[in-house]
A and B are shown apart, each in its own frame.
Chain A
């Protein structure tokens, strides 16, 4: 799976990566993925799967998906 951790969400990756590829051996829900990545759900404001905005935390993801996660976007 192609995964993009936008903004401060990269901080939660142990290597602090913004763009990474992970291998999913089986399908997984968004919530379960976030738990595996140790990213608190409350810090994720925007989820995009294959360029579609997702609002359902139970959406099922597979290895071929491109997932982008973003925190709330403040000013700057």
Chain B
């Protein structure tokens, strides 16, 4: 058994694709039309054979409640690793990304939390 796909719930797939590729820097891997939505995944530029991130359309009402509650509490839906968090933070700030938590050291990791503009907080993590 292997982990091949994980997902983030997004309010709009096209907007999400733009943010996750043009701002965060991921690469589109799969786009398969499925009625009003699509199976849409992105991968890390450095690991294009790695785990795919599904930009999952928000079609299920209870999920909206869950997403909103997480967002309001500032809790990240998921986390991505970076090699140099301070550098990435500066790069993303220049692109207009909003951070609810700036780079903060927690023991041997450094983390920051950003707004993905699709309804989620996303945590960036650097292992020190």
Do A and B truly interact? no
**B→A interface (CB under 8 Å):** none
**A→B interface (CB under 8 Å):** none
